[in-house]
Structure 1
Amino acid sequence: MKRILIAIGALAFSTAALADECASAGTQAELNTCTAAQYQAADKKLNETYQNALKRAVPAQRELLKKAQNAWITLRDADCAFMSSGSTGGSVQPMVANQCMADKTAEREAFLASLLQCEEGDLSCPLPPGN
Structure 2
Amino acid sequence: MKAPLSLLAAALLLCAGSAFAADCTKAATQAEMNACASQTLTQNDADLNATYMAYRDKLNKAQQNQLREVQLAWLKYRDLSCRFESSASAGGSAASLALQTCLADKTRQRADELKNLAGCQEGDLNCVR
Matches for 1:1-131 after TM superposition, within 5 Å: 22-126=24-128, 128=129
Measure, in 2, the Cα distance between the counterparts of 1:115 and 1:74. 20
Displacement of 1:24 after TM fit? 1.0
Q: Which runs of 5+ in 1 are unaligned?
A: 1-20
Aligned residues: 107
How far is the alpha carbon of 1:60 from its aligned partner?
1.3
Higher relative contact order (CA closer than 8 Å, sequence separation 6+): 1
CA deviations over 1:101-130 (Å, ceiling 9, x no partner): 00000000000000111222222212x2xx
State the alpha-carbon separation in 1 of the partners of residues 82 and 115 from structure 2: 22
AA aligned to 1:30 is E
- Name the structure with the higher helix share: 2
Under a length normalisation based on structure 2, what TM-score does the superposition of the two structures give? 0.79
Q: Which amino acid aligns with 2:90?
A: T
Distance (Å, rounded) in 2 between the aligned partners of 1:84 and 1:72: 18
Shift of 1:46: 0.1
Q: Percent identity?
A: 40
Q: 1:4 — aligned with what?
A: none
Structure 2: state its 5+ residue gaps. Answer: 1-22
* Deviations 1:60-86 (CA, angstroms, capped at 9, x unpaired): 111100000000000000011111111
